[in-house]
Amino acid sequence: MRLVLVGWGAISAEVARLLAARKAPVKLVGVGQRTPVQNLPYPAIATPSDLAAFHPDLVVEAAGRSAVLPWGEAALQAGADFAPASTSAFAEDAPLDRLLTLARSRGRQVLIPSGALGGLDALSAAARQPLACVIHEITKPALAWRGTEAEALCDLSTLTHPHIFFEGPAREAARRFPQNANVALITALAGVGPDATTLRLVADPAATGNRHRLLATGDFGRMEVTLDNAPLPGNPKSSALTALSLVRLIENRASPLVI
């Protein structure tokens, strides 16, 4: 399978390393990038319009929200499937609608990776029947919320107990807290959508890492999944599971066995 990665930050570099170490049946034929990267070990693709010449089967984006639509459209037009890691681009419906319309016309797929989350297979399956409630709770150390709107909603430096400073629709959370927009939109797309999914953001002075807790109830029953994610070594702001989820997605596209 011919793979193109868009972006060459910590996540893409880790994905390439893991694919090589695991000897996956994947050939990384190029890396899309907005600015030149010194010592890039793969051919550089300067613009989305250059993508088709690399004949990719799958294009995986890990370059940020602004890269999703131009590279996604180029990938689908080139006859490749497209997997966007920056799902925050779908905080509004129009970008996803444009990509899905193009995917249908080309017989290709837009693949949403699970990112730093778990249990999305169960949530997505459960959503085939009515869901009564989906709540995604994100807990971080209190001071990790510095530089966000949380500072105006509570005094992060004086908290002594976990404090819920935001609870509302995933779409609103994605707009007001863009650092958490990717996971908010992934949960929403897997379940009941960005307006019916509840995001609960928690500052905890005793927390030592990031925790995701997913709760859902519906005709299927009840589920609760909790993950405490280790950071990505090359970028502590990202979860190691984010890169691993992309590796899983890529390997599933190339493997005769899909789990």
Active centre residues (catalytic): 212
182 is in an annotated binding site: yes
Instruction: List C-alpha distances in Å: 16 to 152, 167, 177, 209, 259.
Output: 40, 37, 29, 26, 21
Is 13 among the annotated ligand-binding positions? no
Please list the residues that pair with 58 across neighbouring strands. Answer: 3, 81
Residues 6+ apart with CB under 8 A from 23: none
Q: Which residues, listed in sequence order, are joined to residue 2 by a DSSP beta bridge?
A: 27
β-pairing, 27-32 vs 2-6, is: parallel
Judge contact between 79 and 108, C-beta under 8 A. yes
Annotated binding site for NAD(+): 116, 182
Annotated binding site: 116, 182
